[in-house]
């Protein structure tokens, strides 16, 4: 059995009452109810990085590894691995006796198939790394070897269920992966089996008794609650057992701290950022002067204070500051783009966008965002008011998450959007997709139309170099270009807060609040 990692990395557990009591032995039985904001767009986690998809499907599928709360890599479907001294070869031994939920045996051919036919083609974070793959060789039914063309420093961290969930070859082979009927009725190897999806209301998973570690809960239920305030109320009265940071209004955290029936994980084991995608395909946003003016006109401190409840830091550079070794003082937004309405107005004048008689400029921008996320909605409203002060009209367009994804990524039809991305534990995993050249269509990958071959080259090099100091110098070069071009404006580095009922035990042993629900149990 894998060790239950209870210590947290850079995490404070705030608990009172029942939560402060000494845990008893895990108890089997019962259900846990998790709040999410909308229906997932699919349950095939191999073709998207969508948050709601991961919330549900991470308990249905498995990855080769998982990341614990201290940021350490732990075995999952892979029990051991060796890496060659040149970083070009990875050999994996796989777990014995694993069964798919339909009873078929799991093997190395499933891993090879997933990487070559699913995540390597469709997954926004895995696909860039897969371009470095030379070959995937099955060396025995439960062993395989990955050979790379060039080193890829964070490869092992990319093999979690969130970035490379292993899918069943016998189900998907020869079919259209993106439209397969089993995408909404999935077969995995994870601790829970898919049972029911009532759209707009709930998704129900049931315990997989064949899982290799103990699974304590009988059921894992995901309640779809679009209203942020309703999610918090449901937690407080015990109708739901967990609300993860992604869906938690930051302005309610102080009140939750005082509730003896709720405990919080305060901290960010995995750096995450909030930002504004600026659609550079559209005039006048194709002019760097206009984008810089937006950066000067948007008050990042106000967003952190009012929208994020001070549970964030104003962003300081194109990659935030969560990875200290990748941050460049030369590209510090505090110096380059402090809140300055006068300078913003001057840049807009220089860009040929003078104010009219009523004080408005000939600029009207649509801001699209996920209606279910209160901090994002509050950030969008602040940005609208900030830009009104420099004569720019912003129309807020809150949307259901699936519609938002379509409007931003599939057929880009917007001017501004507020988004958040997790890093996945390394800038190359989570942040390169913001800037690297990419055609429209892949969810959560470059939505701005920005393409700079020099930046692409620097990002590729940064992913190859294992030494952090050397990588930091490469990121400094990329940051200098990105801070001038500004296709995306970083707003804040998140300080995450996950909330759960005090009777829910074993939560948060992973860096991801969505991970390791097999370890969770209900204290009765």
Same domain, residue pair 295 and 146: no
pLDDT at 23: 55
CA-CA distance, 518 to 181, in Å (whole number)?
Answer: 26
pLDDT at 13 over 60: no
Decide if 276 is inside a domain: yes
Decide if 377 is inside a domain: yes
For position 434, which CATH number holds?
3.10.105.10
Decide if 400 is inside a domain: yes
For position 96, which CATH number holds?
3.90.76.10
From 144, 164, 184, the end of a domain falls on 184
The residue length of the chain stands at 524
Place of tokens 């679009």: 226
Place of tokens 């966008």: 353
Is residue 267 very low, low, confident or very high in pLDDT (cuts 50, 70, 90)? confident
CA-CA distance, 453 to 460, in Å (whole number)?
Answer: 11
Is residue 21 very low, low, confident or very high in pLDDT (cuts 50, 70, 90)? very low
Same domain, residue pair 413 and 288: yes
Is residue 12 very low, low, confident or very high in pLDDT (cuts 50, 70, 90)? very low
pLDDT at 249 over 50: yes
pLDDT at 2: 41
Which residues partner with 137 through β-bridges? 145
Decide if 1 is inside a domain: no
Same domain, residue pair 283 and 175: no
Same domain, residue pair 466 and 361: yes
How many distinct helices (H) and strands (E) make up the chain?
Answer: 17, 22
Structure tokens belonging to residue 221: 């239920």
Same domain, residue pair 353 and 461: yes
Same domain, residue pair 360 and 466: yes
From 184, 215, 250, the end of a domain falls on 184
Mean pLDDT for the stretch of residues 283-312: 97
The 10s digit of each residue's pLDDT in 315-369 is 999 999 999 999 999 999 999 999 999 999 999 999 999 999 999 999 999 999 9
Q: Is 364 exposed, middle or buried (0-12, 13-18, 19+ CB in 10 A)?
A: exposed
Helix H or strand E encompassing 194: strand 192-198
What proportions of the chain, in percent to the nearest 5, are helix, strand and coil? 35, 25, 45
Same domain, residue pair 365 and 483: yes
- What angle in degrees, to the nearest 10, is found between the helix axes of 468-485 and 453-464? 160
From 184, 204, 237, the end of a domain falls on 184
Is residue 269 very low, low, confident or very high in pLDDT (cuts 50, 70, 90)? confident
- The per-residue DSSP string of 277-333 comes to EE-TTSTTTTSHHHHHHHHHHS-HHHIIIIISTT-EEE--STT-SSSGGG--GGG-H
Decide if 200 is inside a domain: no
pLDDT at 201 over 80: yes
Q: Residue 152: name the closest of 84, 58, 94 by CA.
A: 84
Same domain, residue pair 180 and 281: no
pLDDT at 14: 46
Same domain, residue pair 412 and 290: yes
Decide if 98 is inside a domain: yes
Decide if 21 is inside a domain: no
C-beta atoms surrounding 81 within 10 Å: 18
3 state SS of 433: helix
Decide if 20 is inside a domain: no
Residues spanned by the domain of 44: 40-184
Question: Do 223 and 33 touch, CB atoms closer than 8 A?
Answer: yes
pLDDT at 5: 38
Same domain, residue pair 143 and 276: no
CA-CA distance, 294 to 316, in Å (whole number)?
Answer: 15
Count of domains observed in the chain = 2
pLDDT at 9: 37
- The per-residue DSSP string of 216-284 comes to --SEEEEEE---HHHHHHHHHHTS-SEE-GGG--GGGHHHHHT-TTEEEEEE-SS-EEEEEEE-TTSTT
Indicate the range of 59-73, 192-206, 257-271 predicted with least confidence: 257-271
pLDDT at 309 over 60: yes
224 vs 25, residue with greater confidence = 224
For residue 284, cis peptide bond before it (omega within 30 degrees of 0): yes
CA-CA distance, 98 to 223, in Å (whole number)?
Answer: 29
C-beta atoms surrounding 506 within 10 Å: 20
Place of tokens 């760097």: 288
pLDDT at 8 over 70: no
Question: Do 29 and 216 touch, CB atoms closer than 8 A?
Answer: yes
pLDDT at 514 over 60: yes
The 10s digit of each residue's pLDDT in 417-433 is 999 999 999 999 999 99
| % residues pLDDT > 90 (the chain) | 92
Cα 126 to the chain's mean position, in Å?
Answer: 13
Which residues partner with 272 through β-bridges? 422
Same domain, residue pair 358 and 482: yes
């Amino acid at each position: 059995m894998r060790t239950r990692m209870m210590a947290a990395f850079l995490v404070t557990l705030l608990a009172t009452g029942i939560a402060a009591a000494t845990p008893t032995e895990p108890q089997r039985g019962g259900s846990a109810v998790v709040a999410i904001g909308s229906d997932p767009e699919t349950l095939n986690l191999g073709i998207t990085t969508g948050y709601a998809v991961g919330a549900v499907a991470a308990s249905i599928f498995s990855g080769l590894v998982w990341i614990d709360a201290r940021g350490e890599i732990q075995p999952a479907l892979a029990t051991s691995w060796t890496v060659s001294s040149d970083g070009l070869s990875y050999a994996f031994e796989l777990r014995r006796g694993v069964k798919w939920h339909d009873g078929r045996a799991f093997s190395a051919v499933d891993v090879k198939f997933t990487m070559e036919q699913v995540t390597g083609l469709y997954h926004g974070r895995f696909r860039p790394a897969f371009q470095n793959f030379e070959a995937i060789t099955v060396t025995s039914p439960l062993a395989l070897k990955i050979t790379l063309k060039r080193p890829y420093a964070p490869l092992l961290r990319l093999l979690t269920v969130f970035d490379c969930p292993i899918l069943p070859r016998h189900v998907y082979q020869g079919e259209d992966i993106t439209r397969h009927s089993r995408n909404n009725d999935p077969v995995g190897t994870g601790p829970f089996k898919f049972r029911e999806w009532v759209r707009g209301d709930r998704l129900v998973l049931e315990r997989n008794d064949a899982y290799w570690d103990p699974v304590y809960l009988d059921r894992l239920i995901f309640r779809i609650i679009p209203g942020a305030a309703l999610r918090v109320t449901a937690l407080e009265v015990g109708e739901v057992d967990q609300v993860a940071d992604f869906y938690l209004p930051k302005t309610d955290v102080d009140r939750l701290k005082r509730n003896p029936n709720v405990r919080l994980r305060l901290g960010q084991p995995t750096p995450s950022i909030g930002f504004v995608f600026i659609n550079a395909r559209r005039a006048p946003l194709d002019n760097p002067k206009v984008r810089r003016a937006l950066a000067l006109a948007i008050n990042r401190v106000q967003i952190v204070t009012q929208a994020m409840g001070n549970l964030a830091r104003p962003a300081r550079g194109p990659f935030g500051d969560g990875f200290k070794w990748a941050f460049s003082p030369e590209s510090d937004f505090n110096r380059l783009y402090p809140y300055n309405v006068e300078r913003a107005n001057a840049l807009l004048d220089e860009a040929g966008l003078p104010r009219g008689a009523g004080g408005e400029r000939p600029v009207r921008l649509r801001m699209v965002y996920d209606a279910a996320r209160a901090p994002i909605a509050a950030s969008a409203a602040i940005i609208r008011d900030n830009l009104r002060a420099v004569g720019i009209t912003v129309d807020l367009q809150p949307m259901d998450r699936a519609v938002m994804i379509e409007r931003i990524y599939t057929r880009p039809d917007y001017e501004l959007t507020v988004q958040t991305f997790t890093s996945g534990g390394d800038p190359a995993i989570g942040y390169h997709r913001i800037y690297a050249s990419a055609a429209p269509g892949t969810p959560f990958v470059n939505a701005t139309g920005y393409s700079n071959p020099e930046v692409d080259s620097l990002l590729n090099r940064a992913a190859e170099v294992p030494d952090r100091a050397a990588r930091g110098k490469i990121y400094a070069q990329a940051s200098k270009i990105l801070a001038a071009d500004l296709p995306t404006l970083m707003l804040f580095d998140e300080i995450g807060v996950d909330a759960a009922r005090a009777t829910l035990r074993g939560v948060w042993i992973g860096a991801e609040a969505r991970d390791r629900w097999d370890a969770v149990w209900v204290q009765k």
